[in-house]
Structure 1
Amino acid sequence: MPHDGIRGAPFRRGFRVFVWASAILTLSGVFAFAAPASTYKPSPRDRAFADFVASLWPMAETLGVKRQTFDRAFAGVTYDPKIVAETTRQAEFTAPIWDYVGIALAPDRIGRGRDKARAAASWLEKANRIYGVDAGILMGIWGLETDYGASPGTFDVVRSLASLAFVHYRGAYFRDELLNALTILEEGDIAPRAMVGSWAGAMGQTQFMPSSFVAYAVDFDGGGRRDIWSNEADAIGSTANFLALNGWARDLPWGFEVALPKGFVLADADSATAAPFASLAARGVVRADGKPLPPAGDGRLFMPAGLKGPIFLVTKNFDVIRAYNSSTAYALGVALLGDVIAGGTGLVASWPRAGAVLTPNEVRDLQVRLKKMGYDPGEVDGMVGDALRSAVRKYQERNGLPPDGYADLGLVKRIEAGR
C-alpha cells in the first residue's frame, strides 16, 4: 500500500474559526445524533472533532470541492478512537522477517495467486506492455495487500482519515490525505460510503492512499471511472502505473537470492552501493537457483538476517517496490511471492530462526548507543530500518567484523561492553 512515504500534496493553510453552534448549522447533516438537539449534550471531544472538520472546509473549497460534496462526505462521521489505537500495530516493521515472509509465501496464498494470475492474464500482459512492470510483482502486491481483492478493508475511509488527522498522527499527512479523498469524491469515481479501505485509509484491491489514487489511478478498462475497489483491471493498471512513474526499469529483475563464495571479503560498500552484475560475478557471487547472473545491470547485496540467512542481490526495482511500502520485509515478501506465482522455486537458504530476535526496546537501546558512539542509526523508534542497518555495518567494518548489517544479541552485548 503506497502510504508509508508522506506524499500528501501541499495545501493552503488558514483555518476558519467556528463556534460549536455555527459548526452544527454550517455542517448540516454531518453529525447524526440519536437524541433530539434540545437534549443532546456533545462531549468536549465531539465539539473539538466538529470544529476540526469545519476547519477543513476552506482548504477543501480551494481544491475545488463543492459544499454539497463536503457535507455528504462527513454526514454521520464521528471520531473513532479504535482507529487511532491501530497505529501501534505494524507487523512488517516489528515481526521477525522470516515470520513476515513465511506468511507472505503461505501455500494457499500462492495457489490463489496462480489462479488469479491465469484469470487476469490479459490485464497483466497489457500492464507489462504499457508500463513494463512484471506480472509477478503486480501479483505480489495484489496478494499481500488484499489477498487478491478478498480483503480490501471495510473501514469508512473518510472517518479513518478524519480520526487520524484529528489527533495529528504523523503531522499533517492524514489531513492532506483526507483532503485528497474529498477531491476523489468530487470527481465522482466513488460514493462517500462506498469509499472503504484499511484503518489507515488505504483503498481498493491494491490499497492506494488517496494521494496515490489522485496521482496514479487509471481507468484501465475504459469503463468511464477509476474503480480500484471492484474492478480488477483498474487495480492492476493503476498499480503498474504507480510503479512505472516511480522509476520501474523494464526488463530488470527486482533481484534474486545469491550465494557468496568461501573467503568472500564483504565490505560496507557491497550493501550501500550498487555494482555491475559482471563485477560481482567476477568475485564469485552466483545465483542460488543456479541460473547465470544477468549480462547487464547493477545490484547490491541485501542481507536481512545477516550472513547466516538468505542473501539477495537487489536492483533499483527493489527500491521502487519500497516506494509502494517502505518496509524491506514487505518489499521482499512482494518480490518472493511474485517469483513463486510466476513459477519460481522460492528460497534456497534457511532463516536463522534459532537466534533470539531483538525486541523493540532492545533495538531502541541499540539505536541510542550507536548514536552516542557517533553513528547515525536514524530515528530512535525501536524498528530496524535502512539507517540502523547502515550504522551497524559501519560499526562492524570499523571493528573488524563482517559488515552484514545484522544486529543480534551477540553484537548488542559487544557494544554494551564498549568493544
Structure 2
Amino acid sequence: MTVRTVTSRMAGLFAAAGLSVALLLPAGPAFADAGFRHWVASFRATAVSSGVSGAIYDRAFRGISAPDPEVIEKARTQPEFKAPAWDYFDNRVHDESIATGRAMAAKWKPWLDRIESRYGVDRYTLLAIWSMESNYGEILKRDDVMRSVVRSLATLAYADKKRAKYARTQLVAALKILQTGDIDESHLQGSWAGAMGHTQFIPTSYQAYGVDMDGNGRRDIWNSIPDALATAANLLRKNGWQAGRTWGYEVTLPGGGKFPAGSMSIAKWQQLGFTRANGKPFRNTSDRAELKLPGGREGPAFLVIKNFSVIKRYNNSDKYALAVGLLADEIAGYGGLVRDWNRPFTKLSFEEKQELQQRLSQHGLYDGKFDGKIGSGSKAAIMSFQAQMGLTQTGYPSMEVLKWLRKK
C-alpha cells in the first residue's frame, strides 16, 4: 500500500470523525498550512455577514498563514486537577502582590478616585483583580505569553473542536475591535485563549464593558491603566456591585455538626454561633450570606455576601473571588487571615520561595523564573531534589526543603 493510499484512507476516516487531517497527519507544515489557509478563506464570509468589513478581515489575517502551534499545545495540556486551597492562595496573596498593590494604589490614586466615584467599585478590589489577571501588567511584557489574538482564536476555531464555537464568536468580536479603531492588529495581543490587556478581557466582554476612561477616544485596556481598571469596574457595576459593601468576612465556626447550606441573613448565622474571626462586629446583619469552607473545616471559614458573587462574574470560581477579596483587604490594610490555611509543611515567605527556586536552579533542577510562584516546574524540581536526598517526594515549597538546599 502506497503512502498516498494510506494518507487518503486516513483522511477519509478523520473527515468522517470530524477531525482535521491537517493537524493529525505528520505530513509537514505545508500540508497543515494549506488546511488552515482554506479555513481562513472560508470563515471570511461568516465574519462579513456578522458585520466585519472584508478589508478589516484581510488586513487582520495578513501574514497569518499557519496556526499557532503553542496555542494548540496549551489547549491540549490545560491542567484538569484541583490544587489544594493553600496552593492556590499562596501563589496569589503574598508579600509582593500586597506591596505592589499598595504602590499602585498610591501611583494611580487620582484615576482610582475618579473610577471609584463614577462606578462605586472600591479601588482595592480593582487592584486585586489587576494583580490576579496580569500581575499588574507584567505579563503583557512577556513575549512567551502574549501573542496575536486573531491568530490564537483562529487556531482554536480551526484546531480545537471543544473550543471552536467559543473561538469563532470571540474572533468575530476581536475583528470588530479592530474595526472600531481602539487598537490596531499589530497591538491586538492577548493570552493563548484570547484574553486581552491589563485586566484580561475576552473580546465579547471587552465589547460589552470597555471604557475610554482617559478620554483619548480609544478604549485601550492594553496601554491605558485608567481604561483597563475602569473597564473592570464597569463589568462589576453592571453585574450588581453594591457600593460601600464588602465581599464577605472571615468567621469562627461554632462547635457542632453540619452547618446549613444556602444563603440566609448574617443575623441568623450569628444566632447559630458564627462570629467574625477578628472579633469585630458584622457591618450589616441584614445582608444575606453563604458559608464557604475552601480548605475544609480545618482551614479558615468565610461568610460571603452579594459582592462575592459579583466578583465571580469576572471569573466563575469561588477560589478566584475569595483570592480577590483577601488580596483587596490586604492591600487596603485591613489585615490578613486570623486562621491560616492548613498546610502539611512550614510555609515560606515570598522571598524564601524565590531563594528556593534559585537554589534549585543552581543544582540544575529548575530553569524557570525566580518569581516566587510555585507552579508545575517548581514542584517537579522540588520532587527531583527530594528524590536525590531520599526524602518523601511531595513537591511542597517548604522550609524543610529550603534548609536541605542551604546545606548543599
> Do the two structures share a fold, i.e. TM-score over 0.5?
yes
How big is the shift at 1:170? 2.3
Computed over aligned residues only, the root mean square deviation of the Cα atoms, in angstroms, reads 1.9
Q: What residue in structure 1 maps to residue 90 of structure 2?
A: 102
**Is the partner of 1:294 in helix, strand or coil?**
coil
Q: What residue in structure 2 maps to residue 209 of structure 1?
A: 202
Q: What residue in structure 2 maps to residue 32 of structure 1?
A: none
Supply the AA of the counterpart residue of 1:283. L
Q: Does residue 151 of the first structure (1) align with residue 139 of the second (2)?
A: yes
Alignment of 1:392-407 (within 5 A): none
1:83 to 44, 66, 71: 71
Alignment of 1:102-251 (within 5 A): 102-152=90-140, 153-167=145-159, 168-251=161-244
Alignment of 1:10-49 (within 5 A): 43-49=30-36
How big is the shift at 1:235? 0.5
CA distance in 2, matches of 1:192, 1:169: 26
Supply the AA of the counterpart residue of 1:279. K
Q: What residue in structure 1 maps to residue 324 of structure 2?
A: 334
CA distance in 2, matches of 1:252, 1:304: 22
Q: Does residue 321 of the first structure (1) align with residue 311 of the second (2)?
A: yes
1:146, 1:205 within 8 Å by CA — same for their partners in 2?
A: yes
1:92, 1:100 within 8 Å by CA — same for their partners in 2?
A: no
Per-residue CA deviations over 1:140-161 (Å, capped at 9, x if unaligned) read: 1001111111212421111111
1:79, 1:162 within 8 Å by CA — same for their partners in 2?
A: yes
Q: What residue in structure 1 maps to residue 54 of structure 2?
A: 67
Supply the AA of the counterpart residue of 1:348. V
Supply the AA of the counterpart residue of 2:158. F
CA distance in 2, matches of 1:93, 1:258: 28
CA distance in 2, matches of 1:100, 1:292: 29
CA distance in 2, matches of 1:257, 1:187: 45
Per-residue CA deviations over 1:185-208 (Å, capped at 9, x if unaligned) read: 001000101011111111000000
2:93, 2:327 within 8 Å by CA — same for their partners in 1?
A: yes
How big is the shift at 1:88? 5.0
Pair 1:247–1:184, CA change in 2 (3 A): same
Pair 1:199–1:212, CA change in 2 (3 A): same
Gaps of 5+ in 1: 1-40, 356-419
**Is the partner of 2:341 in helix, strand or coil?**
coil
TM-score w.r.t. the length of structure 2 is 0.73
**Is the partner of 1:170 in helix, strand or coil?**
helix
How big is the shift at 1:284? 1.5
Per-residue CA deviations over 1:338-386 (Å, capped at 9, x if unaligned) read: 110011211111222239xxxxxxxxxxxxxxxxxxxxxxxxxxxxxxx
How big is the shift at 1:55? 2.1
CA distance in 1, matches of 2:313, 2:80: 15
Supply the AA of the counterpart residue of 2:195. A
Pair 1:208–1:252, CA change in 2 (3 A): same
Alignment of 1:333-412 (within 5 A): 333-354=323-344
